[in-house]
């Protein structure tokens, strides 16, 4: 197992290197620069701004310089926000996205697992059709529709919550529901599929024959195998959830990382783009690794293969 | 579980949620405590007034700093600020500002004329690369110092003969100088504080943050959480603190118009600067007391690349310009009270209104097009209109496309690009017709007409006219206001005859604001005067 983890960790180095390189050249290849604006700065001012950030150097030299800084953990300054470093912006905004992501994950798992399990136990009954139809609807309704609908109902008409902002504990409810709903729907369908497959296995029939009750079968015997598809899905999904969602953060005015991830590209904020891409890449890599480890732990067959 | 039990449980749950849910709205709390909550339409890049440029930085800066002169938002008249009085020499080249003796920085230190000179030294230092340094260019040798032609700041026209006298010498008379002085590029910054956090000419110096930011305005910076809020509180050391009625101002950075409008509707904000077009119609009809629509100093127009056929032909440009219905665009597409633009400088800019007016005449447009070699639009090549991706720009471009097809029988192709790609295309004149907008920096026609001179970086049309350049130069070097405006009239007439630009409409601001916000007045600069604002709900 340790060898497996070490090997996977070593594999991440070339992956991150390639991502950083591709990002760098794509970014600099895109038309327009960080200081372009409708009101043109004078040529001297523009030249000095570029010089200040080293953008006057040959491209390959800039690349080497940025790689050197990245190796030292320095993600560089933000062009859009003079005086702030990319490290600082990520340090401030990531905890917000992390919190929202965790809350959305709880929503996704609680609702998704429960609905999926119930549906698989009561296959082809109303207990199956209703939650699965809702899940299908949840998958189909985009967050930019779901969010404003929830706000209209619960913030504006019923006045239970603020329409947007991230100040009070209650401000977490609507964004977490909006972001979690899509994932809950996915988890529900995957759980149902996974459990249906497991519940038809011989060992479950044996357990039933020996007199095990519904709950015991579900949690003691079927759970470990039934949630395998969910675990595979959750790896990359959690990375996406925790690093922020542009749409949900915009609708609810949440100061998370997701917005920087998108806006940095629009602003040609080169260091911010690189920083957020690498940060996200690290998350995806880490969660894929974690998923693989959990899968090996859950599924003895994979252990034998190794 | 039988049905009545389920019912009880549901009612119980709903009661609990509803019971804990009802709450006092943030604007009501604000009204009680004189805490204003306004949307600022974005996250300021910096609160260093010499670095952060743009309207949203301006909105916070005017709370934190005070220039020599301030503006009354009711009528845009000028009033004493950090300077209690000023006089102008007979040749209008020397401005002497007499500073208040009770002026204090928010750290308690007195503000002296030396602070102002040092501040101007900083903004003009080439290494700082301050984008708005050109606002100080009327001052003698300011441009030469800023562009590195001279290195001795003593040669620049800022002098402090004593602690409370600031002398500003111009290279030539500029009657609009005071309207530039109210701009944040003229605000003082605390150099001794800035030095503690790095080099003063380092644009990334982080001094303008809560805890370290020192200003001389009516408020001080207390909190700044990026993309969450900026909180400023009343500054007790401000010279006129007894007349400041607000205790706190929260600036909300929400950029999305719909999100901001929902926050306004749910009682989280006292005002938002911009409602989306669909909401404007709703508010104007149903809640007219909550919306204020007023003109600002800005124009929406198209640029022609005069180096590219067929729009290199003046007759074609004129034909295209004459064959559109501006009123229809303003009234049916924009729908926020925009005024059709028949000239380039917004009307009554510092008392100046262009006397030459564009005409809309389809018959004449057809004749001009035929004269240019395209009778009834025949053989007219496909011309592209470039705009950046945005629903409103697309709607305007589509309407124009239809008008040109109907009136001139010419086919125009629409092409949209992402913002920075579009800026790049415009800058390299890689377009035939392109959408553009311009917001004036100060109340004077020069802020519009200067952009179309040959050497202006904002021209972007390839158009050059020696007489136009001469007139603009003449106007910016004479102190005689009548002569200046006469020169601008002639210059703008040339612009409207040559037509490198096609004015479409003058912008308006559809602002949502609660009636309890008192002391706020709509104005063409769309600026606030937080000092005079306060909250007073109407008695029911």
Q: Is residue A21 part of a domain?
A: no
The residue of B57, B204, B393 whose CB has the most chain A CBs within 10 angstroms, and thus the best one to mutate to test that interface, is B204
Position B1 pLDDT exceeds 50 = no
Average pLDDT along chain A: 88
pLDDT given for residue B27 in this prediction: 94
- Rounded-to-integer distance, Cα B66 and Cα B69, Å: 8
Convert the pLDDT of each residue in B69-113 to its tens digit: 999 999 889 999 999 999 999 999 999 999 999 999 999 999 999
The closest CB to that of A45, out of B21, B129, B206, belongs to B129
Span between the terminal Cα atoms of chain A, in Å: 9
Q: Is residue A138 part of a domain?
A: yes
Q: Copy the structure tokens of residue A81.
A: 């926000």
**Residue among B465, A4, B261 nearest B473 (CA):** B465
Confidence class for position A232, pLDDT limits 50, 70, 90: confident
Confidence class for position B125, pLDDT limits 50, 70, 90: very high
pLDDT given for residue A43 in this prediction: 84
**Residue among B300, B256, B288, B289 nearest B275 (CA):** B256
Position B516 pLDDT exceeds 90 = yes
Q: Is residue A18 part of a domain?
A: no
**A266 vs B contacts (CB less than 8 Å):** 418-420
Average pLDDT along chain B: 92
Give the residue-averaged pLDDT of A230-259.
Answer: 86
- Rounded-to-integer distance, Cα B68 and Cα B78, Å: 10
| Min Cα–Cα distance to chain B from A218, Å | 22
Give the residue-averaged pLDDT of B220-242.
Answer: 95
- Is the Cβ pair A267, B204 closer than 8 Å? no
Position B512 pLDDT exceeds 70 = yes
Q: Which domain covers residue A131, as residue numbers?
A: 89-269
| Min Cα–Cα distance to chain B from A16, Å | 27
Convert the pLDDT of each residue in B177-205 to its tens digit: 998 999 999 999 999 999 999 999 998 89
Burial of A133 (0-12, 13-18, 19+ CB in 10 A): exposed
The nearest alpha carbon in chain B to A157 belongs to: B266
The secondary structure element, H or E, covering residue B115 is helix B113-124
Q: Is residue A141 part of a domain?
A: yes
pLDDT given for residue A301 in this prediction: 74
pLDDT given for residue B68 in this prediction: 97
- Rounded-to-integer distance, Cα B385 and Cα B401, Å: 9
The closest CB to that of B45, out of A46, A80, A167, belongs to A80
Three-state SS sequence of B255-312: CCHHHHHHHHHCCCCCEECCCCHHHHHHHHHHCHHHEEEEEEEEEEEEEECCCCCCCC
pLDDT given for residue B365 in this prediction: 95
Q: Copy the structure tokens of residue B319.
A: 């034909």
The residue of B266, B272, B389, B512 whose CB has the most chain A CBs within 10 angstroms, and thus the best one to mutate to test that interface, is B266
Give the residue-averaged pLDDT of A141-162.
Answer: 91
The nearest alpha carbon in chain A to B253 belongs to: A253
Position B19 pLDDT exceeds 50 = no
**Residue among A178, A295, A201 nearest A248 (CA):** A178
The nearest alpha carbon in chain A to B418 belongs to: A266
Convert the pLDDT of each residue in A169-206 to its tens digit: 999 999 999 999 888 888 988 999 888 888 888 888 88
Position B3 pLDDT exceeds 70 = no
Give the residue-averaged pLDDT of A27-52.
Answer: 86
Confidence class for position B391, pLDDT limits 50, 70, 90: confident
Q: Is residue A20 part of a domain?
A: no
The nearest alpha carbon in chain B to A47 belongs to: B129
Cβ pair B141, B191 in contact under 8 A: no
- Is the Cβ pair B425, A31 closer than 8 Å? yes
Q: Is residue A265 part of a domain?
A: yes
A-B contacts at Cβ under 8 angstroms: 152
Confidence class for position B357, pLDDT limits 50, 70, 90: very high
Position B284 pLDDT exceeds 80 = yes
Position B2 pLDDT exceeds 50 = no
Q: Is residue A254 part of a domain?
A: yes
Where residue A157 sits, what CATH number does that domain have? 1.10.3720.10
pLDDT given for residue A298 in this prediction: 79
- Rounded-to-integer distance, Cα B97 and Cα B123, Å: 19
Give the residue-averaged pLDDT of A34-58.
Answer: 87
Position B403 pLDDT exceeds 60 = yes
Residue that is written with structure tokens 């940060």 in the block:
A279
Position B400 pLDDT exceeds 50 = yes
pLDDT given for residue B10 in this prediction: 53
**A48 vs B contacts (CB less than 8 Å):** 126-127, 129
- Rounded-to-integer distance, Cα A23 and Cα A274, Å: 7
Burial of A164 (0-12, 13-18, 19+ CB in 10 A): buried
Q: Which of residues 84-143 of B touch A (CB under 8 A)?
A: 126-127, 129-131, 133-134
Q: Is residue A211 part of a domain?
A: yes
Position A143 pLDDT exceeds 90 = no
B228 CB within 8 Å of a chain A CB: yes
- Is the Cβ pair A82, B23 closer than 8 Å? no
Strand partners, B502: B302
The nearest alpha carbon in chain B to A164 belongs to: B263
Return the percent helix, strand and coil in chain B, to nearest 5: 35, 20, 40
Return the percent helix, strand and coil in chain A, to nearest 5: 75, 0, 20
Give the residue-averaged pLDDT of A270-280.
Answer: 93
Residue that is written with structure tokens 């260091």 in the block:
A271
In chain A, the number of structural domains is: 1
Cβ pair B303, B433 in contact under 8 A: yes
B254 CB within 8 Å of a chain A CB: yes
The closest CB to that of A82, out of B126, B203, B265, belongs to B203
| Min Cα–Cα distance to chain A from B429, Å | 13
Position B12 pLDDT exceeds 50 = no
pLDDT given for residue A303 in this prediction: 65
Whole-model pTM? 0.89
| Min Cα–Cα distance to chain A from B328, Å | 26
- Is the Cβ pair A155, B423 closer than 8 Å? no
């Amino acid at each position: 197992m340790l060898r497996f983890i070490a090997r996977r960790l070593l594999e991440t180095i070339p992956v991150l290197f390639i991502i950083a390189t591709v990002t760098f050249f794509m970014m600099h290849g895109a038309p327009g620069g960080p200081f372009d604006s409708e009101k043109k700065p004078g040529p001297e001012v523009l030249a000095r701004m570029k010089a200040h950030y080293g953008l006057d150097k040959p491209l390959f030299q800039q690349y080497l310089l940025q790689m050197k800084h990245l190796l030292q953990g320095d993600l560089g300054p933000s062009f859009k926000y003079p005086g702030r470093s990319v490290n600082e912006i990520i340090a401030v905004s990531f905890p917000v996205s992390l919190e929202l992501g965790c809350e959305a994950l709880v929503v996704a798992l609680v609702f998704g697992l429960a609905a999926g399990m119930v549906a698989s136990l009561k296959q082809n009954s109303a207990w199956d059709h209703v939650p699965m139809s809702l899940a299908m609807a949840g998958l189909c309704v985009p967050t930019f529709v779901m969010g404003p609908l929830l706000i209209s109902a619960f913030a504006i008409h019923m006045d239970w919550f603020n329409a947007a902002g991230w100040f009070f504990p209650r401000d977490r409810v609507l964004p977490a529901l909006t972001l979690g709903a899509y994932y809950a729907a996915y988890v529900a369908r995957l759980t149902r599929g996974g459990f249906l497959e497991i519940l038809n296995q011989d060992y479950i029939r044996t357990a039933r024959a020996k007199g095990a009750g519904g709950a015991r079968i579900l949690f003691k015997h079927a759970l470990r195998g039934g949630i395998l598809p969910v675990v595979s899905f959750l790896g990359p999904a959690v990375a996406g959830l925790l690093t922020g969602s542009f749409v949900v953060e915009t609708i609810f005015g949440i100061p998370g990382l997701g917005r920087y991830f998108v806006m940095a590209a629009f602003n040609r904020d080169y260091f911010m783009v690189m920083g957020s891409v690498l940060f996200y890449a690290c998350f995806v890599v880490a969660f894929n690794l974690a998923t693989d480890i959990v899968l090996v732990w859950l599924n003895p067959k994979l252990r034998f293969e190794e | 579980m039988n049905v009545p039990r389920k019912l009880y449980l549901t009612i119980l749950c709903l009661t609990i949620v509803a019971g804990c849910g009802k709450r006092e709205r943030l604007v009501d709390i604000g009204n009680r405590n004189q805490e204003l909550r306004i949307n600022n339409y974005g996250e300021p890049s910096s609160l260093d007034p010499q670095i952060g440029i743009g309207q949203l930085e301006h909105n916070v800066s005017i709370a934190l700093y005070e220039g020599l002169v301030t503006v009354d938002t009711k009528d845009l008249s000028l009033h004493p600020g950090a300077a209690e009085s000023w006089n102008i020499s007979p040749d209008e080249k020397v401005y002497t500002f007499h500073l208040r003796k009770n002026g204090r920085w928010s750290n308690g230190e007195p503000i002296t004329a030396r602070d102002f000179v040092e501040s101007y030294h900083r903004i003009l230092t080439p290494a700082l690369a301050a984008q708005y340094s050109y606002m100080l260019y009327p001052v003698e040798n300011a441009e030469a110092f800023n562009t590195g032609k001279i290195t001795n700041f003593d040669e620049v026209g800022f002098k402090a003969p004593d602690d409370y006298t600031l002398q500003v010498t111009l290279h030539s008379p500029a009657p609009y100088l005071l309207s530039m002085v109210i701009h944040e590029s003229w605000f003082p910054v605390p150099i001794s504080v800035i030095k503690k956090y790095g080099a003063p000419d380092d644009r990334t110096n982080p001094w303008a943050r809560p805890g370290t930011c020192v200003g001389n305005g009516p408020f001080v910076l207390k909190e700044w959480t990026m993309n969450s809020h900026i909180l400023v509180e009343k500054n007790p050391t401000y010279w006129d603190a007894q007349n400041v009625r607000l205790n706190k101002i929260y600036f909300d950075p929400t950029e999305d118009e719909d999100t901001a409008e929902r926050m306004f509707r749910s009682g989280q904000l006292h005002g938002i600067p911009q409602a989306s077009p669909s909401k404007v119609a709703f508010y104007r009809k149903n809640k007219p007391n909550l919306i204020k629509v007023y003109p600002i100093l800005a124009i929406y127009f198209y640029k022609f690349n005069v180096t590219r056929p067929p729009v290199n032909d003046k007759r074609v440009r004129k034909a295209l310009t004459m064959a559109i219905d501006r009123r229809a665009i303003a009234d049916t597409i924009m729908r926020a009270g925009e005024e059709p633009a028949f000239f380039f400088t917004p009307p009554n800019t510092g008392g100046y209104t262009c006397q030459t007016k564009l005409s809309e005449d389809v018959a004449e447009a057809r004749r001009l097009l035929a004269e240019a070699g395209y009778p009834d639009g025949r053989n007219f090549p496909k011309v592209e209109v470039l705009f950046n991706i945005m629903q409103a720009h697309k709607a305007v471009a589509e309407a124009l496309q239809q008008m040109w097809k109907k009136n001139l029988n010419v086919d125009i192709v629409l092409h949209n690009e992402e913002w920075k790609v579009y800026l790049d295309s415009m800058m390299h004149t890689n377009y035939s017709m392109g959408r553009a907008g311009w917001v004036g920096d100060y109340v004077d026609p020069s802020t519009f007409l200067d952009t179309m001179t040959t050497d202006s970086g904002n021209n972007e049309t390839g158009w050059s006219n020696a007489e136009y350049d001469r007139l603009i130069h003449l106007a910016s070097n004479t102190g005689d206001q009548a002569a200046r405006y006469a020169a601008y009239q002639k210059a703008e007439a040339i612009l409207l005859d040559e037509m490198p630009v096609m004015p479409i409409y003058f912008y308006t601001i559809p602002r949502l604001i609660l009636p309890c916000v008192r002391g706020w007045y709509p104005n063409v600069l769309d600026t606030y005067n937080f000092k005079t604002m306060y909250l007073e709900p109407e008695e029911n």
